[in-house]
Each structure stands twice: as structure tokens, then as C-alpha cells.
Structure 1
Amino acid sequence: MTSLPPDDPRRRLTVARPDDGAHLALAGDVYTILVSGDQTDGRYCLLDMRIPPGGGPPPHRHDFEEMFTLLEGELRFTFRGEETSVHAGETVNIPANAPHFFRNISDRPARMYCMCTPAGQEEFFRQVADPVPSIDSTPPRLTDAEKAERGQRAQALAAQYQTELL
């Protein structure tokens, strides 16, 4: 039988408060980093995601697990080309490397928690998203040139964060 390693006193208790995290506007959505990889020794990160009607990321895949718990609203997840509707209270796990995306298919904003393991996705978001004052902020209206620049930045950084935009 193996024994557990000793407690690491350098690691601290983390209490995530939605107003304290970094708020980032990305692809029309607003994400708040609740718990970062810096706080979990790289084991995972936790994001609070607000998705407006019609919102959601483009198709993509990445080399880490991603789990979503829908708190409010209704989303349609497309996983390997198959669509599944998800409602408040339901949880979806996306295996590493599987192509996927989601859309808010309702006329109300949706809210969910997203856990990525291991951590790192939050750093990708920091690099490509626009900071906003709060989780309730309206994402900035970007010009076509600004949208193109964000897309080019995401493409340029994707491989560094084990992500492929499809």
C-alpha cells in the first residue's frame, strides 16, 4: 500500500469570489477566472462563463479535459459533430482532443462553470481576450479589423496552449 505524500504547507486555501477574478470578453462571451492554475499547482482552473443568446466559441479541440456545469439557461453542445441540448443543473465532460463547441440556443443569457484539467486554458484566455470591469459587463463592440486581429492572435497562440481552432 502506498502512502499519501505529506501536506504541502506552501499551498493555500482558495476562496473564489466572482467579483475578484479577472473578467475577460472573448467571442462575445464574458469569462471570469475564479481559480487559476497558479492557485492549484497547475492541476486545474475554474471559469465562470456568461454566454449571451447566440453566443459561444468557434469549433475547437485541445489536449486537456474540460467539464461544464450549466447553472442557468440552455446550451447546445456539438461534440464530434453530434448535437446535445444541455439545461441548467446538467454537467458535460469533454474528453481531451475531441472536437467540440457550444451555442446558447435560448433568448436568455446562460451561465456555467468550466473546469479545465490540467490548468492553462485561463492563460490562453488572458492572452487573447479583452479585459472588462465585471462578469456582468457587455463585451466591447469590436471593428472588423479588431475581430480579425483577435482571431490572428488566437491562431498564433493556439499551439502553445495545446489548442487547435477548427
Structure 2
Amino acid sequence: MAQTQPFMASCAELPQPLNVLGERITVLVDSGRSGGLELFRQQGDAGQGPPPHAHEWDETFYIVTGEVEIGAGDLSQRLGPGAVAHVPAGVTHWFRFVTDGEMISVTSRAGASRLFGALDAAIKAGATEKQALIPVILENGAVLRVAPQSARQATAEF
């Protein structure tokens, strides 16, 4: 395996945000550049967020602006700027932007950037119904879960 090299990128060098289920997600670092972790800027309007799901990578969220409700396993909490939430690989989780906001997320290994890119491509290709995106989600390392009672209202739109 090739050794990764140091790198730096200015804002002007970053890619355009991807459209991922209504969120705008910018891939700041993918595993190809880092040799492992992936780093994202996630911007969402109130009401946006994924349905309950799980995947093979750990995921940590840092709330930059706004308020986000995050559910992981049996926990659910509204978090504001400066708060952190960590979800180990395989744990069912979801989140919903309560207000317009922004998060930085880090994953422990490759997978999320591929999933986000595939969803953006499917949406650009005309997949407008969320149900049409389910196969894309499943083919790219995530598993959808039945919403626990605490998450059903927050994820009713999916």
C-alpha cells in the first residue's frame, strides 16, 4: 500500500458540495488522500437528515452552527454549537437538523465519500423519489433500519 503524503487545500481548492438527501456535503478529505479517515462539511436546512441507518465505519459529528437532533442506539439528544456525538460502526443512528445548521463529520475509514457521491449522482440523473435512492444506499455500504419509536416522528418524511 502506498504511503500517504502530507497535503493542504485552501477553500478555493475544495470540491463543490454534493446533494445528499437535501443536505449539502463537501468532501474535505477522502480516504484516498488520508489513507483512512474521511472528513466532511455537512450543511442542512431545518428538517433535513438521513433515515435510521448503520454502516461499517465509525462516525463523529461536531456541531458548528444551528441545532441538530441526533439519535444513536438508545440515545437521542438535541445538540448545539460545540457539541460532539460519536457513533461506532454498526450502531443504528439518524439525525435531523432542527434549525438550519452545519456540522463537521469524520469517519474512521473509507465508505462515506463513495456513498455520498453515488447519492449525488443518482439525484443528478433524475432520482427524485427518496424510495428510488434506497438501492443506491444499500449498494454503497449502508443498511437502512426501522426507526425506533423516538426517531419515527423525526424521520417520517423518508
TM-score normalized by the length of structure 1: 0.75
Distance 1:73 1:25, change over 3 A: same
Between structures 1 and 2, the one with greater helix share: 2
Q: 1:138-158: per-residue Cα shift (whole Å, max 9, x none)?
A: x9x9643xx333233223x14
Q: 5+ residue gaps in structure 2?
A: 146-158
Distance 1:124 1:32, change over 3 A: same
- Which residue of 118, 121, 130 maps to 2:112? 121
- 2:137 and 2:143 in contact (8 A); partners too: no
Distance 1:18 1:32, change over 3 A: farther
Find the residue that maps to 2:51 and give its secondary structure: coil
Partner residue, 1:93: 86
- Indicate whether 1:34 and 2:28 are aligned: yes
- Indicate whether 1:14 and 2:26 are aligned: no
Q: 5+ residue gaps in structure 1?
A: 1-7, 133-138
The structure whose Rg is larger is 1
Give the 5 Å matches for 1:70-89: 70-89=63-82
RMSD: 2.4
Number of positions where the alignment pairs a residue of Structure 1 with one of Structure 2? 142
- 2:19 and 2:119 in contact (8 A); partners too: no
TM-score normalized by the length of structure 2: 0.79
Distance 1:99 1:75 in 2: 17
| Identity over aligned pairs, percent | 21
